[in-house]
Amino acid sequence: MKRHESLVPLSRDHHEALLLAQRIRKGKSVASRSDWPEDRGLQRDRLVEYFDTRLTYHFQAEEDFLFPLADHHLPPEEAITVLLRKQHGQMRNLISELRTAQGVQLENLLLRLANVLEEHIRKEERVLFQRVQKKVPEEVLQQCGKQIEKFLHSSKMTPSDE
Ligand SMILES: [Fe+2]
Ligand SMILES: [Fe+2]
């Protein structure tokens, strides 16, 4: 199913975040000309910066605009927002632990974060977004898309360089 235009900004973020998660899992970038560092400390710095400038606003946009819509228009067992909110919480906690972690602990936290992030995004893309596109009325989804766009714009996010 083609992604609805209202959800495209979130899907773009997902694409970027998945690349980041893959790089963390592999330890280095798959693209040979990439400037992704092999040092875990430097990887942490990149990840934390990405979280602080992008992902934290992405989570908030979903929690403020998209999840309430899913809760309202989908049956509770289909909305899966309890799980998704819980994963946001797990990732926020992992990021705050990551900020000062070192050595083996840093390695473990990076891998855990990458795993949760990947699983979370796949759930949103393959399950939540599909259901939302099918069941939420067009004009409501349009309105939600505008709110998300306005919010992300006001959080001063810059377009990705990827
Ligand atoms: Fe999310
Ligand atoms: Fe998301």
Structure tokens at 2: 């083609």
For the stretch 80-118, what's the b/e string if a residue is b when 16 or more beta carbons lie within 10 angstroms of its beta carbon?
Answer: bbeebeebbeebeebbeebeebeeeebbebbebbbebbb
CA distance 87 to 3: 23
Report the separation in Å between the CA atom of 56 and the middle of ligand 1, taken as the mean of its atom positions: 10
Tell me the per-residue pLDDT of 113-159, one tens digit each, with 9 for 90 and over: 999 999 999 999 999 999 999 999 999 999 999 999 999 999 875 55
Structure tokens at 117: 């992030």
Q: What is the pTM of this model?
A: 0.92
Residue 120 · residue 83 · CB < 8 Å = no
Percent of the chain with pLDDT strictly greater than 70: 93
The pLDDT assigned to 26 comes to: 86
Report the separation in Å between the CA atom of 152 and the middle of ligand 1, taken as the mean of its atom positions: 14
> Which ligand sits nearest to residue 152's alpha carbon?
2
Report the separation in Å between the CA atom of 26 and the middle of ligand 2, taken as the mean of its atom positions: 22
Residue spans of the domains in the chain: they are: 5-24+39-154
Tell me the per-residue pLDDT of 14-34, one tens digit each, with 9 for 90 and over: 999 999 999 999 886 666 677
Q: Domain 5-24+39-154 sits in which CATH superfamily?
A: nmb1532 protein domain like (1.20.120.520)
pLDDT at residue 90 is higher than 80: yes
**Angle in degrees, CA 15, 19, 20, rounded to 5:** 115
Q: What is the mean pLDDT of residues 92-118?
A: 97
Q: What is the mean pLDDT of residues 58-66?
A: 98
The pLDDT assigned to 159 comes to: 54
